[in-house]
Amino acid sequence: MPSSCSFPRIAAALAIGALFLAGSRAQAATGHQPEGWDSDVRLPEAVDHNPDPAIVEVHLDARVARVEIAPGLSVDAWTYDGGVPGPLIRARVGDRVIVRFTNHLPQATTVHWHGLRIPIQMDGVPEHSQAEVQPGGSFTYDFIVPDAGLFWYHPHMMSAAQVGFGLYGAILVEDPADAVGIEDEIVLVLSDIGISEKGTLESPDSGGPAGMVFGREGTHVLVNGRLRPRLTVRSGAPQRWRILNAAKSRYFQLFLDGQTFTKIGGDNGLQEYSQASDRLILATGERADVVVAPQGAPGDELVLMSLLYNRGYGSVEYRDQPQLVTLGFADGPAYSGPPPSSVRRSIEPLPTEGATKVDIELTLAKKGDGFEYGINGVAFAKNKPIRATPGETQIWTIVNQTKWSHPFHLHGFSFLVLDAAGQPAHPLAWKDTVDVPLEQTVRFVVRFDDRQGTWMYHCHILDHADGGMMGVVELGTVRGAAHHHAEIP
């Protein structure tokens, strides 16, 4: 991502230090909602152990713990710090983040910082960036966060199993110059978890090869680790929802009957201008920054739902529409203040003229008694790397030849999606994960900087990634011959 989408800290930011430096990094008191409006939903926050206001230093422990997802319904899950999701980590643009990670799970693991533009040594991928953290072991992640946005952390080994068991959490990087101006804000982590009839975690290989091909979804759909939690809201008062889809396979098509979502940002911070819609679709790994101002009479209720969404064969047949959050309207007068100010962001498009063309096909093939996902017909273990040099701009054409949609994630870099004419699509928005619908094509433009190393890309339906739909970018100083060329029509 070019420097125009990063906001270095300046001394003037200290003028609003009361919001950030009053002994913690918790957000300021809410503005228009009833006291405790989000108490049933609010995420626990990681404790900052460093007194330096420019450093966030947290301890993160992976361990098995008993978690309650609803009254009377608990399960022994794999957790960060004993909770599902893990604690919300708060930082500001330009902060140094230090995470002292320990592993008390029965299996080796790592932590990948999804969407953050950090050094390859901190990316959390075994072999390419760090050694596996063995049971009883530890690792210190140490990096600068250059961009504002909602990002997240999760393992990057045996990912489908470990994320499915509960290992994921959000990291919110805030920009004091944000200027959105909405004090009532909440982070919503959408996910699911599979619990067997015996009350234990479902096996990560349930359904066999067919389960892998479809992408396994959990039996219980969660919001911030809870089944259908509740918000108590004031009618008409604007709220800012920072939403993450941390499920390993499930898509969410959000719907709040009669209400509007005003999307102001996505994966990597604010977008060029806002968009209003009555539905909001999030593929796995994607994030959205939206403003909502639900309206209703005191005592009324609204339910945030996930409508059925066709991500491929089997995704809409005989399935229900999960109810996610209940919004109950508080007693008292409706909000009558001014609407939120228009939110805009200046983003400089990446030039496409002269960019290197990279052609990727997402494939599925029969393999013995099972199936194998691949890139250009080859599973991860055998496919060739894409070569890139520092400063190079590339246009990637992603052709989905399969009957299932695939959220395509690129580690370490942000890109701009292109329209049908091959130009950056408006509103401009920096992304690291983009949905490639079944049997369709998506293009994006990316510029590589000087963070040399081996960077992963893969489908973020984690069963598909584990099933072979992964590859790497070799970013170095010498261009090789492994580019995959394709003309942009």
Count of CB atoms situated within 10 Å of the CB of 381: 8
Give the up-direction half-sphere exposure of residue 203: CA atoms within 13 A in the CB hemisphere: 6
- In terms of Cβ atoms closer than 10 Å to its own Cβ (0-12, 13-18, 19+), residue 188 is buried
- Quickly state the pLDDT bin for 377 (edges 50, 70, 90): very high
CA distance 34 to 327: 13
Note the pLDDT of residue 424: 94
In this predicted structure, the answer to whether residue 485 has a pLDDT above a threshold of 90 is no
Are the folds of 3-174 and 185-329 the same? yes
Q: How many CB atoms lie within 10 A of CB 308?
A: 14
Asked if residue 376 lies in contact with residue 413, where contact means CB atoms within 8 angstroms, the answer is no
Mean pLDDT on 380-400: 94
The residues spanned by each domain of the chain are 3-174, 185-329, 356-475
Q: How confident is the model at residue 479 (pLDDT cuts 50, 70, 90)?
A: very low
The pLDDT of residue 7 is above 50: no
Long-range (24+ apart) CB contacts under 8 A made by 362-366 are: 362/398, 362/399, 362/400, 362/401, 362/402, 362/406, 362/408, 362/436, 362/459, 362/469, 363/401, 363/402, 364/213, 364/401, 364/402, 364/403, 364/404
Query: Rounded to 5 degrees, what are φ and ψ at 162?
Result: -70, -40
Q: Count CB atoms within 10 A of the CB of residue 329.
A: 22
- Mean pLDDT of the 30-53 span: 94
Query: Residue 428 has what DSSP assignment?
Result: P
- pLDDT-derived band at 31 (thresholds 50, 70, 90) equals confident
51-68: pLDDT as tens digits: 999 999 999 999 999 999
- The H helix count followed by the E strand count for the chain is 3, 29
State the pLDDT at residue 1: 52
The rounded distance, in Å, linking the Cα atoms of 398 and 444 is: 8
pLDDT tens digits, one per residue of 195-238: 999 999 999 999 999 999 999 999 999 999 999 999 999 999 99
pLDDT for 342: 87
Strand (E) or helix (H) holding 459: strand 453-459
pLDDT of residue 477: 59
* pTM of the predicted model over 0.75: yes
Q: CATH 3.40.228.10: does it fit domain 3-174? A: no
Share of the chain above pLDDT 90, in %: 85
Is the pLDDT at 28 greater than 90, yes or no? no
* Residue 156 structure tokens: 């990057």
DSSP for 24-52, written as a single string: S-PPPPPSSSPTTTTTTTPPPB-------
Assign 17 to helix, strand or coil. helix
CATH 1.10.760.10 fits 356-475, yes or no: no
Confidence class for position 420, pLDDT limits 50, 70, 90: very high
Question: Environment class of residue 257 by beta-carbon count within 10 Å: exposed (0-12), middle (13-18) or buried (19+)?
Answer: exposed
Which residue in the block uniquely carries the two structure tokens 């978890």? 193
Q: Which CATH architecture has domain 185-329?
A: Sandwich (2.60)
